[in-house]
Amino acid sequence: MLTKAPHLFDDATRVTAGDSRWQGQTSQDYWAFVGPFGGVTAATMLRALIDHPQRSGDPLALTVNFCALIAEGDFDLDVRLVKANRSTQHWTVELTQGGSDVMTLATAVFAERRPSWSHQQAPFPQARPFEQIQPYAKVAAPWIRQYDFRFVEGHADFSGAKYTPASAYSKLWIGDRVPRKIDMLSLMSMSDAFFGRVFHARGELVPFGTVSLTTYFHADVEELAAEDISRVLAVADAKIFHKSYGDQNGELWSPSGRLLATTTQIAYFKA
């Protein structure tokens, strides 16, 4: 079912190792309206950490602050291990282009996750099977073409015809358009693959940009690999839109009913 490498996503998030400075490049395949799709930028920064020889443990938390628009082309990733403890590591990654100011700033926590009491309090969202739902076909930007979105609730109707404010809630299946086994990188990217909540609430597209994104991982690398999945069931919602900024919170679930990641972001909008 899954393609052999190289997958477009792996091309888009490829990094070249350095000591503390790594290199990457933007991808036209994952281009958004005015810059690269933030999820792929976040995944690329995460890849530099996962591939780093000093890295130990699995991704636990990643926060990405989008400081300025990344231009098409090459970029540098300055990677720093800020603090290492017995079972956790704290990292920063700064993305620059040709000696520019920092365009994207990430902090990450990696952890050796030890067995413990386990309890999943959040209920698994019920959903019709992926196969029974038509894929979302409207492609407003290239990156959207790389994903297979199947809306269960809170469909993406941005025609402007709806009464506003509508609910900002969505439930959908998300997979790579060309199926790819889900790993920490694609999970990171998918945590930013929800459409702007303000689009749903207003029923129309408006100028929009994520400012800060935080994702927590609730399975380790081995557990995620054992799920052996190529899509997640995802829910996203918002609590408030006010004075040009709105929030988003989301969950990414394995079809087996396991909560893989939770995510939140704050985004700029103009409306």
Name the site residues for a copy of itself (rule: CB under 8 A).
60-61, 63, 65, 67-68, 82-83, 85, 88, 90, 92, 94, 101-103, 105, 107, 109, 111, 113-122, 165, 167-168, 201-202, 211-212, 214, 216, 218-220, 237-245, 247, 249, 251, 259, 262, 264, 266, 268-271
> Using an 8 Å Cβ cutoff, are 67 and 105 in contact?
yes
| Cα distances (Å, whole numbers) of residue 91 to 14, 43, 79, 233 | 19, 15, 7, 29
End-to-end CA gap in the chain: 43
Amino acid identity of residue 253, one-letter, is W
What's the token pair of residue 4? 């052999």
Q: How far is the CB of 163 from a copy of itself (least distance, A)?
A: 13
Q: How far is the CB of 145 from a copy of itself (least distance, A)?
A: 29
Q: CA-CA distance, 197 to 266, in Å (whole number)?
A: 10
Of 8 and 103, which CB lies nearer to a copy of itself in the complex structure?
103
Q: How far is the CB of 6 from a copy of itself (least distance, A)?
A: 32
Q: How far is the CB of 218 from a copy of itself (least distance, A)?
A: 5
Of 138 and 243, which CB lies nearer to a copy of itself in the complex structure?
243
Q: Which residues contact 195 (CB under 8 A, 6 or more apart)?
A: 156, 158, 170
Of 147 and 154, which CB lies nearer to a copy of itself in the complex structure?
154
Of 110 and 147, which CB lies nearer to a copy of itself in the complex structure?
110
Q: How far is the CB of 97 from a copy of itself (least distance, A)?
A: 12
Nearest one of 165, 174, 167, 160 to 238, comparing CA atoms:
167
Of 176 and 251, which CB lies nearer to a copy of itself in the complex structure?
251
Q: How far is the CB of 165 from a copy of itself (least distance, A)?
A: 5
> Using an 8 Å Cβ cutoff, are 138 and 199 in contact?
no
Of 9 and 158, which CB lies nearer to a copy of itself in the complex structure?
158
Q: Which residues contact 226 (CB under 8 A, 6 or more apart)?
A: none
